[in-house]
Structure formats: C-alpha cells, structure tokens
Amino acid sequence: MFHRQALPRWLRALGLILLAVLSGWMALSRPLPGVAQTRLATDLRGYWAEQCVQEIVQRGVMTTFGDGTFRPNLPVTRGEFADIIVKAFPDAPAVRQYSRQAFVDIPQGYWAGAQIRRAFETNFLSGYPERRFAPLEDIPRVQVYVAIASGLNYYLPSRDPESLLAQTYIDAPDIPGYARDVIAAATEEGLVVSFPSARQLDPNRIASRGEIAAAICQATGSTTLVPAQYVAVPGSFPLSPDEPFVPTSAAPAEPPVAAAAVGLSRRGRQRRLTADRDAVVETELRGVWLTNVDSDVLFDRRRLATAIDELRSLNFNTLYPTVWNWGHTLYPSAVAKAVIGTELDPEPGLQGRDMLQEVIERGRARAMAVIPWFEFGFMAPADSELARRHPEWLTTRQNGDRVWVEGGVHERVWLNPLHPEVQQFIIDLVVELVRNYEIDGIQFDDHFGYPSDFGYDDLTVQLYRQEHSGRAPTDAHDDPAWIRWRADKITEFMARLFAAIKAEKNEVIVSLSPNPQDFSLNAYLLDWHTWERRGLIEELVVQVYRNDLATFGDELVQRPIQQAKTNVPVAIGVLAGLRSRSVPVEQIRQQVDLVRDKRFSGVSFFFYEGLWNYAEESPATRRALFRDLFRRAKPHPSLYRGWQPKPEPVAA
C-alpha cells in the first residue's frame, strides 16, 4: 500500500468528474483504428532498450501511437500501467477479491476499470489511503518495481535488504521506507533496470514508457533483450569511502545512444564516450511565420518567391504560411465556399493564384519544410461573413456579449469549439488541406482555444448542466474546475481532429505554437501539456515573446516544456519585431544562444517582416545577424525522419 496524505472530499469529487470527462479520450494512449501498431518507428533507432521495446510491442503488451511512434520517454499514468501489467501477465492468478467500492476515484465505464480490477486481484497494484487509486497520476519508478515484485511474490531478499541496497545503489537513501524490502528483493531477482547507470535507481523519478518496457522484459523472461550493463546487480559495487553521491535531481536527461553513448567511471561520475557522428543527422528548426497581418509578402507571387529564396540563402529551413485568418482561407477551399460563400480571401493579391501551392513548390525545391498555419483558429472578425451567416456558432460572455477586442482595436468573435457544426467545419477545412496539398505538417496555436471569460453560450451551459446534475457553471470564469472542464472539452475535439488528420495522411506532422502552458490554459483554455502527454502534438513551438533575458530564460525551464522536449521536437518562438515594437539584434542573438544552451530543437521567428523591416538597424545588419546565427544548413527536425532529443551537457 502506498501512503499519501488524504485529499479533501471536494477535491476527490472534482477528480471523479474530471476522470469521467477524460475517459472518452484516454484511449488515445492505445492504437488508433486502421494504423499498424507493431511496426517499429524511427524514434526507437539507437534507443538503449530498442530490442526489448520491439519485443514488447510485438507481443501486444504496449503499442505505438497513431503516428507510428513509440515515444519511449513519455511518462505513464497508473491507469495506463494497469493496462500494461494485465497484458504482460495474462495468466497471473487472482489472490484477493475486488469489491465494487474498492476505489472511489474509478467511475463506472472508465476505460481502464477492468484492468485496474484485474491488477488489484492479482496483487500487482494497490491503492492509496481513503480508497483512492489515482489513475491519472504519473507512476514513479519505485511503484513500477514494487508492483511487479509484489505480483510475482518477491517480498524479501535472501540477505539483509539494507546492506544490499547500500551496496547496489548510490542513491539508496532515496528509496521510500515502505518499498525498501521489496526493491531489494526485485534487485536480487534481476528485475531492476536503470539507464544510464545501473547504480542509480532514481526511485522517485517518473517512469518512462521505455523503462517500463525494460522492466517487463526482465520480469517475463526476455532478459537478453536489455543490455546487461543497465541491469542492477546486487552488491557487486561496494561503495568506497570517497564515492560521490549523485542526487536524483542532478541526473542528466537520457541521451540518444547513437548520438552520444554515456558511460560511468569507476568513481560514479558521468562521462561522454566517443560517438559515431556519421550515424546521426544534426537538425535544428529554423522557422519563420508568414502572415498577412501587417505584411503583404503573401500577396505578390514575385515578392513571395524572392522571400523564400532569401530565407533559404540564410539557412532557414521551415516556413509557416498562414492559411486561415480574417474569416477566410488563403487557399482555394470548397469547404469554405460551402460555409462562407467564398472559396478564397477576397484580397486582390490572392486572386487567380494558389499562394499555398507556390510556397510548397518553391520551399520543397529548396529543401524547406512547409507547415501551413491555421492562424485564427476559432477566432474571426466580428463583421466577417462567417459570423454573419452563423451567429449560432458563436460563444459568449456571461452578459451575452460576443465581441472580444484584440489589442484594443480589432473586434473579434469566437466560434464555439464545443458546437458540433463548428467542429465539423474545422475538421473539414483541415482535412481538405491535408488531402489536397503535399505539406509537411499543419500548425495550430492558442486560437484553438478561446478566451476564458467566454463559454456562457446556451449550448455550452446546457452541456455543462447535463454533466453536473443540472447545476449551471460558476460565475467566476477563472474558477479552476470551470477552466478544466472547458479545456478538457477542447482536448476531446483535438483528439478527433488529430485522428482525422492521421486517417488522411499519417506522415503529416501535427504542430502547435502556443504560449507557455499556464497562460495558454488559464487565458485560452488550451491545455497543450495534456495534448502532448496524450500524443496529440508532434512538434511544439512555444511562443516566448519576452524582452528581458532572465524572464525569457525562466519560461524555458518550466516543467511542461522540459517534459515535452524529451518526447517531440520543441522549438522556441522568438519575436523578431512588430510594427509597434522593434527588437534589437543583440536581443535576438542572446535568445537564440540561450535556446541552444537549453538543448531545444530550434527557433522560429515572428514574423517575416520583423526579420528586417520593423527594426532600428538596417536590413543588411539584420541579414548579417541571421547569416552568423545559421552558418551552415541543417534539416528540419521531424519525428518521421529519426529525430532524437538532444543530450543534456554531461559533467567531465
């Protein structure tokens, strides 16, 4: 039994409500229909437990995501772990009874309810005090090994557990008291796997999918599939008096083996070994957003071609052209024509041409990734034809007001992401684009939520009442539970959209360019941290538009962004300049240097005009800056082309 402080009743009740809402899309951690799940993805090449993970996937114990990747560094919840355990040990005998009231936080119909029951009956998993199971809690490594050892009836080692632990793990003091005997027994049975060093258990660190696969291999007889140097050997490394202790918090992030193998010296200090540099293609995202807000670069065929050529000459490699804003598409769209009445933005410079196709052809010919950007998302001008034709699609504030003023100037309205017709319209727009164009990906941003003081329209309120025994939403728009409910509904829609994209073209990347997590969630109800955790994001470009370097740096070390960068390419959006706000070259240089120092996958600049036109320095000076920043060409990082997270610096 794992001991945690009891939660208040109101918080437990809230947890049940949220869990019921989440149950419909939790299955996204399992395979999507129509997608082969046993095919090894490129994200496993060079992974330290590659052979083991392949075996686990082929056995059906764990699966790939809908895009074919395994994402070995992704964390696993306790509910997901129950599902894995049941599949790994299908013949385990039941040794205790499970009552219907066993756990108060497992609602009827929960997707993993049967698996949790089975894992409990076979003694692999237990709960917390006050009959909580906490299915959405990320499972730490210590619980993984306690669960496996308990289910296999390994409770005590054959020797003194304290001396065994002390002579095996340099961080033995970190092992919780309740787990020490069982961890010692698991170690003696050869169940415990630790990368990069078998001597460092990291018991309280969140377990990753790859680590859990390795533990299952060890526990089910596939022991030859895990490299022996990562399997803990009890008592084989007695500590010398001057052996340094490496605290868990200082452990380096896991590097890709092909890029830089990490070994351990006799003194326990990490050191970088030689690497096969030819085996890894060095990538860096170097992007720029092209919009028709304060810019006409998209409105002239010749100027657009010149812009792409110039960006390529400066070693940029990624283009994010806007394709949806001001209530119109910027490409010919039959879907838009059916709903709005026009197939293309009426801007004269867009008539008689297909701007997006021009970007694709010229960008692709110059080895640049083209990822169209749905800039306005659910937002539209208040006087747009879309708003005029479909007022029932709009969400409102409590007072019924539909208008939101952007920047104190522009009047906007917001389509309701919970409205079925709105959802279908957006899905149809996106799928049409994915089907008709050879694009590398599709990008969304915070406008795929809506301002948190909205959401009081009749449809949303009625849906909330249906799920809350007739109670109306709170008047406090920033109430955490009310924010969470709306954010989860938007996440449900994103799951539908992701599945629709992958059903059309699996290799098209789903990219997101939000603000930092706290602002994105609380201001726009967009919970991108959950999207990334559930495999709904394949590229993340976080907009960090800050003048102060210290503030800029603080955003880069927040937990959600640090977790994401081990699973998908994560770049940082850097402000290059606005019509009303110039950004000096030194600020840009410092921010790019810091992004690289923090081991992110690259940068993207907002926006094209700001690169050289909205600045105090001359365009020539600005071009010299980018020429110096990007001295040699590098390809765009992609999950579909073998991207691996960058290894953290290793102490000498």
Q: How many Å apart are CA 129 and CA 127, to the nearest integer?
A: 7
Phi first, then psi: what are they for 517, rounded to 5°?
Answer: -55, -50
**DSSP per-residue string spanning 332-360:** --HHHHHHHS-SS---GGGTTS-HHHHHH
Helix, strand, or coil here: 316?
coil
Measured at the alpha carbon of residue 602, what is the angle toward residues 599 and 607, in degrees to the nearest 5? 145
Q: Is the pTM of this model over 0.85?
A: no
Average the pLDDT over 548-577 and give the result: 95
Is pLDDT at 10 greater than 70 in this prediction? no
Phi first, then psi: what are they for 27, rounded to 5°?
Answer: -65, -5
pLDDT of amino acid 172: 93
pLDDT of amino acid 97: 83
pLDDT of amino acid 40: 58
- Residue 333's CB is within 10 A of a number of other CB atoms, namely 23
pLDDT of amino acid 39: 55
**What are 351-366's pLDDT values in tens digits?**
999 999 999 999 999 9
- The four Cα atoms 244, 249, 254, 259 give a dihedral, to 10 degrees, of -70
Is pLDDT at 521 greater than 90 in this prediction? yes
The domain 285-636 belongs to what CATH superfamily? Answer: Glycosidases (3.20.20.80)
Domain ranges of the chain: 9-242, 285-636
Higher pLDDT, 457 or 46: 457
Phi first, then psi: what are they for 49, rounded to 5°?
Answer: -115, 35
**What are 313-330's pLDDT values in tens digits?**
999 999 999 999 999 999
Where helices occur in 394-479 by DSSP H, the ranges are 420-436, 458-467
Cβ-based neighbours of 647, under 8 Å, separated by 6 or more: 252, 253, 254, 255, 256, 259, 260, 262, 599
